[in-house]
Structure 1
Amino acid sequence: MSQSQPDAHSAAHGDPARTPPLYSPARVRELLDRHGLRPTKSLGQNFLIDGNILRAIAEAGGAAPGVPVLEVGPGLGVLTGEAARRGARVTALEKDERLRPVLAETLAGLDVQIVWGDALEFDYASLEPGTRVVANLPYYITGVLLSRFMNAPAIESATVLVQKEVGQRLTARPGEDAYGFLSALAALHGTVRHVRDVPRGAFLPAPDVTSAVMRLDFDRSRPLPEPALLRFVEAALHHRRKTLRNNLRLVGYAADAIDAALTRTQLRPDVRAEDVPLAALQSVARELGVVR
């Protein structure tokens, strides 16, 4: 992925005092029209047009003087600029090359490095330790990106705009309707808190769903979960309303070994996968020799 700084040229047209803020619908439409752009649905482009929510995301994300911040999908540079004006040193990953002249204009004079390319191909191991993700994530790759953030030791936290449903899955506990592999994955890496819901009208164009701002804090004092454990947990929760025993049988574990592991972990043979506490699931994995 190539790296470049935005071109330095004026962000304001006409009288700066009369220029509406970058997040105002009028300014967003003017920018898009002037550059001949339309939001691309396939890239998940929904531009934030609510200043209060914008400030809340930057605040909750810890964008502050000297803090390294990573943004994925800066779009028109609205959140990017907010983080940079708070003194953060921002790296923004953007796939849509059509936005080069827009970002050159809106981020002129700010401490922002644009990395042009696909966020799924970026080397997150190259980030500076203590990096905080602050981003309005493209909805279609949210889960994959969150997994990348969790597995990058340099990333300390991720404060992200996601679909409300994803936010509910991130904070769900065993036994709750939304609980599943993403819930377990988040718990294995740290803690999650819900910051606030975001209505559809806070975006241009308005998405089909309500969104939520979530903050994930990663516990880097403990080692990353072993890949074998993650595969085991994913298989165990793949059909979360089925029994844990049946799910493990489906991926090839012997019935007698599963029964013995459940007995030693003091779990009922008919316990549903979604009802098993994470610590108990890890104990079953140890009993089956998945991890030590």
Structure 2
Amino acid sequence: MNNDANADAPTPSPTTAPPPSLPLYSPARVRELLTLHGLRPTKSLGQNFLIDGNILRAIAEAGGAAPGVPVLEIGPGLGVLTREVASRGALVTALEKDERLKPVLADTLAGTGVHVIWGDALDFDYAGLPPGTRVIANLPYYITGILLSRFMQAPQILSATVLVQKEVAQRLAAKPGQDAYGFLSALAALYGSVKHVRDVPKGAFLPAPDVTSSVVRLDFDRDRPLPDPALVSFIDAALHHRRKTLRNNLRLIGHEGTPVDAAIAGAGLRADVRAEDVALDDLQAVARSLGVVR
């Protein structure tokens, strides 16, 4: 995506905004903004707007929004979370796909200094962000996993404090042997650590989503070298059928039985260990033994 061509700072709108006495996150003001601009939340874009001030403040606080901190927000929507983050002095860049929201954000972000880039988060070059960037966002549920992977791979991003489906939050924070443990859990551990901040009820959104949400913070250890893509692919395959044995999963991707048995034994694991019970360090040891990585 050509960021320069698609970058627009909010400009004042000639429309009349709802009464400023109402906080931007209040249900009444959200409804007025939608009515004023002739909008309806688009389910295909995952548009569920936050209407709970306590949740907004908790996300901004947990995300590290502070004076001078570069922050990236994905999907600002009506600018509710955006304003909260910017009010703390953070240098906010907001990436929004839905250009119907241009007049809304021109109203709600006027005077905040927020830089809005109009484009698809899947096409954005995260490597071009300022060093030390922190992501603070209510992520569209349908592309959560892809975006988290992009954040992990961008050395400029130090952390991501995001609102996601509770199920995804559980998978991110799960440990080996727990029901939710899988590739996403191992991937998060490969890049850093995960902290559960709080759950968020359906009623904190307008319209209410079908599922409960959670706020999680992922901190990326940038002192570690970025992992070898071959290792990431290996871990993905090893945990793809997580309730099967690790041995069977590795044979499914072409590794011979004898070397696999030796690698599993060399890592101190049982021959019949299930993939879901294997810790990240042990997966790495098996990968090295099989020559996937050095």
Range class of TM-score, shorter chain: over 0.9
Matches within 5 A, 1:148-187: 148-187=150-189
TM-score by length of 1: 0.97
Instruction: Check if 1:207 corresponds to 2:209.
Output: yes
Q: In terms of mean alpha carbon deviation, does 91-100 or 5-14 score higher?
A: 5-14
Q: Which stretch shows the higher mean deviation, 266-275 or 41-50? A: 266-275
Tell me if structure 2 keeps the 8 A contact 1:81–1:107.
yes
CA distance in 2, matches of 1:159, 1:11: 33
User: 2:267 pairs with 261, 265, 268, which one?
Assistant: 265
Letter of the aligned partner of 2:171 in structure 1? Answer: R
d(CA) in 1 for partners of 2:45, 2:78: 13
1:5 and 2:19 matched: no
**Inter-CA distance 221–11: structure 2 relative to 1 (3 Å threshold):** farther
Cross-structure match for 1:245: 247
How many residues were matched structurally?
290
Answering whether residue 62 of structure 2 is matched by residue 60 of structure 1, we say yes
Gap runs ≥5 in structure 1 = none
How far residue 257 of structure 1 moved from its aligned partner, in angstroms, is: 1.0
Residue by residue over 1:3-34, the C-alpha shift from the partner in whole angstroms, topping out at 9 and shown as x without a partner, is 11000358974764xx3111000000000011
Q: Structure 1 residue 110: deviation in Å?
A: 0.7
Secondary structure of the 2:149 match is helix
1:189-210 deviation per Cα after TM superposition (whole angstroms, max 9, x unaligned): 0010000000000000000000
Which deviations, in whole Å up to 9, do the C-alpha atoms of 1:26-76 show, x marking residues without a partner? Answer: 000000011000000000000000000000000100111110000000000
TM-score in terms of structure 2 length: 0.97
In the alignment, which residue of structure 1 is the partner of 2:233? 231
Distance 2:183 2:78 in 1: 33
Structure 2 match to 1:91: 93
Sequence identity percentage: 76
Determine helix, strand or coil for the equivalent of 2:83: helix
Structure 2 residue runs without a partner (length 5+):
none
Q: Distance between the aligned counterparts of 1:231 and 1:80, measured in 2?
A: 35
Assess if the C-alpha contact under 8 Å between 1:199 and 1:210 holds in 2: yes
Alignment map for 1:24-173 (pairs within 5 Å): 24-173=26-175
